[in-house]
Copies of this chain bind each other. A is one copy, B any other.
């Protein structure tokens, strides 16, 4: 299975062209849109989101993960293998948490270049063919190249910021829920929020935090939009009170 994690959107031409390339390269492999609205141009919050959601998929999954504000510049294209899953995309921090949370991860630089490659759409021209080849099992076994991926050691293990706002207005943080006890409280936008198991456990209109279905601490309002009520956006800080 090939899983797409991008900021390309679905309605414009970008994801469609990527899928056309994947179909040509690996015609029998199903392609799943996981995020097409991952944090646009922001590899840091995207890295925490990818690490949380990647783990839900079975080993062997190939992720085409492209948040790539430096496309056309010097950043390298890489393949990362972590916990049996494969990640293809730019070397800009996007794979920092996936790599760091694996007991041992392997990294290859992508030296292959297509015959024609646009300056601005490596997702289609470079990363998609490589992801398709990987999904077919062809690569990088044949041409492994050791590569020193860039390190972002100053990034924390968990990010106390909003990393994604979903269509209901729920605001995901970069903090893993299993690190908090249920009596922890969260300070956000000058408010203090208590834990609840899920939406239906609090009155309508009430804000709370809970561990979402992929293990991230998420800020929500029952029958409401937390991001609007609490003025949250990607990058907004949260703090844990115990």
Contacts and interface: CB of A to CB of B under 8 A. Distances in A.
Contact of A223 (B13, B33, B36, B41): B41
Interface residues of A, number: 54
Interface of A: 1, 3, 7-17, 19-20, 23, 27, 30, 32-37, 40-41, 53, 56-57, 69-73, 118-121, 124-125, 164, 166-168, 197-201, 210, 212-214, 223
Given A17-B56, A70-B200, 6 more contacts: A10-B10, A13-B35, A19-B33, A27-B30, A69-B200, A120-B212
A150 to B, nearest CB: 16
A164 B16 CA distance: 16
Contacts of A13: 34-35, 53, 166, 214
Contacts of A30: 23, 27
A17 to B, nearest CB: 7
Contacts of A17: 34, 56
